[in-house]
Amino acid sequence: MLKVSGRQQTVTDSPEGCGGTATALRISAGISNGNGNGNDRTTDNCRFSDNWSGSGFNSHDAIRDMQYDYLIVGAGFAGAVLAERLAAGLGKTVLLIDRRDHIGGNAYDELDAAGIRVHRYGPHIFHTNAKRIVEYLSNFTEWRPYEHRVKACIDGLLVPIPINLTTLNTLFRADMTPAEALVFLAERADRLRDIRTSEDVVLRAVGRELYEKFFRGYTRKQWGVDPSQLDKSVTARVPTRTDTDDRYFLDSFQCMPAEGYEPMFRAMLSHPLITVELNTEFRQAREYARFRHLIYSGPVDEYFDFCFGKLPYRSLRFVHETLDMPQFQPAAVVNYPDEAVQYTRITEYKYLTGQIHPQTSISREYPSSNGEPFYPVPCAENEALYKRYEALANQTPGVTFVGRLGTYRYYNMDQVIGQALSVYAKIETQSRATVQKGAEVAVSDDAEGRVDARPRPATDVQLP
Nearer to ligand FAD, 298 or 378 (CB): 298
268 binds ligand FAD per the rule CB under 6 A: no
Among residues 332, 349, 461, 354, the alpha carbon closest in space to that of 112 is found at 349
Which of 69, 98, 199, 277 binds ligand FAD (CB under 6 A)? It is 98
* Min dist. Cβ of residue 226 to ligand FAD (A): 22
351 binds ligand FAD per the rule CB under 6 A: no
* Min dist. Cβ of residue 381 to ligand FAD (A): 22
Q: Please name every residue paired with 150 in a beta bridge, in sequence order, or none if there are none.
A: 161, 333
Are 30 and 325 spatial neighbours (Cβ–Cβ below 8 Å)?
no
257 binds ligand FAD per the rule CB under 6 A: no
- For residue 304, count CB atoms less than 10 angstroms from its CB and return exposed for 0-12, middle for 13-18, buried for 19 or more: middle
* Min dist. Cβ of residue 204 to ligand FAD (A): 26
376 binds ligand FAD per the rule CB under 6 A: no
- For residue 85, count CB atoms less than 10 angstroms from its CB and return exposed for 0-12, middle for 13-18, buried for 19 or more: buried
107 binds ligand FAD per the rule CB under 6 A: yes
76 binds ligand FAD per the rule CB under 6 A: yes
* Whole-number Cα distances in Å, 140 to 235, 360, 366: 33, 28, 33
Among residues 196, 228, 194, the alpha carbon closest in space to that of 212 is found at 228
* 335 CB-near residues (< 8 Å, 6+ apart): 150, 151, 152, 153, 161, 218, 344, 345
The interface with ligand FAD within residues 281-300 (CB under 6 A) comprises 281-282, 297-298
Are 237 and 203 spatial neighbours (Cβ–Cβ below 8 Å)?
no
Nearer to ligand FAD, 181 or 420 (CB): 420
**66-77 burial: b if 16+ Cβ within 10 Å, else e:** bbbbbbbbbbbb
74 binds ligand FAD per the rule CB under 6 A: yes
The interface with ligand FAD within residues 388-417 (CB under 6 A) comprises 403-405, 411-414, 416
DSSP 227: G
Nearer to ligand FAD, 148 or 357 (CB): 148
Listed ranges 104-112, 255-263, 265-273, 333-341: which one lies at the site for ligand FAD (CB under 6 A): 104-112
Nearer to ligand FAD, 95 or 341 (CB): 95
Sign of CA dihedral 154, 158, 161, 165: negative
Total interface residues for ligand FAD by CB under 6 A: 33
55 binds ligand FAD per the rule CB under 6 A: no
Are 79 and 72 spatial neighbours (Cβ–Cβ below 8 Å)?
yes
165 binds ligand FAD per the rule CB under 6 A: no
* Min dist. Cβ of residue 417 to ligand FAD (A): 8
87 binds ligand FAD per the rule CB under 6 A: no
Q: Could you list the residues that contact ligand FAD (CB under 6 A)?
A: 73-79, 97-100, 105-107, 121-125, 281-282, 297-298, 316, 374, 403-405, 411-414, 416
